A and B are shown apart, each in its own frame.
Chain A
Amino acid sequence: MNSKIIIEEELLKLIREAQKGDLNAFETVLKNYQYYAYTVAFRVLTNDDDAKDVVQECFIRIWKNLGGYNAKVKFTTWMYKIVINLCYDKLRRRKTEYERNEVLDEQLISGKDNPEQLLSNKEQAEIIKHISDGLPEKQRMVFVLRDLEELTTDEVSQIMEMSIESVKANLSIARKTIRTKLIKWRITDEL
């Protein structure tokens, strides 16, 4: 990962310059933040190409709408909001384009229960796909943003345009479903 979070003041300065049409300033913002957009998109869509498409479209939208950016809102909140909306579009289109392949390579997770161990993109995608299968899109996104991206409930509520109570309720259901799936998966694996 080449990116690092720029301090808020520096970021705002870059955004102000980009708002005046400075593409170099925008490039710095892009290079520092595209990874964060990619992570969320990948975890929601579980597909590298789709996630890259979302990142591309997200930053094109950011560039086009920079004039309307409200500095009172965190840049990442604004960016994640765009990412999530684009992910919704992708998921809807995907449903009509092809049936998802739900066959899971059960060897992927077996024996891997050391939290320090790192998973490949493919492994992460397969696991997320499996544990979030059947979850409504909203719950799936809340789970990714809150539990995997570790954003605050308040941020998730702003990104998803939901009340804090609704975020908590959706998260609770998502967590239960996901834990149940992981347990079932493990039991099946052991048999």
Chain B
Amino acid sequence: MNCESVKKMLLEGETKTSENLEVTEHLKNCEECLSFSSNIKTAESQLAMLKNSKPILNEPELLSLSILNQIRSEQKKDILQPSILDAILNWFMLKQVRLALYSVLFLFSSLYFYEEAVALKNVVALESNLNNAGQQYEASISDNMPNLSFFYDIYKLIAGEKKHLNLSKEWLVVNKSFIKGLLGEYNSLTPEKKIKVDELKKKLTKEQTEFLDELMNVKKN
């Protein structure tokens, strides 16, 4: 074992028993390494001295008091000046506010479903009226029907906002009763819509006009 490896081992401080014997043997015959080993031991003692000498914290009660005071003052600040977000969140955390919110949500959802139910009821009533009108019409005129695609356009104007009457064009063409009923609703239209329907009426063929008049008469009767 040479001086370099002995010094390296001594410096690392962790040697195996077998290596220890070799190091001890080397130290017996090498003054330089012996002196190095002695210095290492001194260094170890100095490190132990450093480890044993714990730093002294002067006036520890002042330090803890200062920490507690800072915590207290921050708590006061938080109480006096809560952030807007904190204030909002705290407000929502109140049981009464949450109950009020749930009630409002319940009220609005109830209103929505009530309106849906009323609309559905109206549609059912309308369809029933349409069928009645259709039966009367079928009993009074011949089967010679004009092209009904024009009435689909009128239907769209009249029933455009009635989401429940989502029927196909094909269905409309074959269901005369339905068209009759729609035309019966003409009188309840807004003036703007009436104008649009009237404009459409002007485009009617003679045959279509006659058919329309007949339908209107049926409704009037």
Contact = CB atoms under 8 A, between A and B. Distances in A.
A124 B55 contact: yes
Which of B50, B51, B68 has the most C-beta atoms of chain A within 10 angstroms of its own C-beta?
A: B50
Given A2-B60, A27-B64, A172-B12, A183 B49 contact: no
Nearest to A122: B55
Nearest to A32: B64
Nearest to B58: A48
A56 B45 CA distance: 33
Which of B13, B44, B64, B72 has the most C-beta atoms of chain A within 10 angstroms of its own C-beta?
A: B64
B139 interface: no
A59 B49 CA distance: 29
Contact of A112 (B13, B46, B58): B46
A2 B55 CA distance: 13
A179 B68 contact: no
Given A179-B11, A179-B13, A183-B40, A59 B67 contact: yes
A117 interface: yes
Interface stretch (A34-42, A84-92, A99-107, A134-142): A34-42
B103 interface: no
A48 B62 CA distance: 14
A183 B68 contact: no
Interface of B: 11-13, 36, 39-40, 42-58, 60-61, 63-64, 66-68, 70-72, 74
Interface of A: 1-3, 23, 26-27, 30-31, 34-35, 38-39, 42-43, 48, 51-52, 55-56, 59-60, 63, 109, 112-121, 123-125, 127-128, 147-148, 150, 172, 175-176, 178-180, 182-183, 186-187
19 contacts: A1-B56, A26-B71, A35-B57, A38-B63, A39-B54, A42-B55, A55-B63, A56-B70, A63-B71, A113-B46, A114-B49, A116-B49, A116-B52, A117-B49, A121-B55, A125-B55, A148-B50, A176-B12, A179-B40
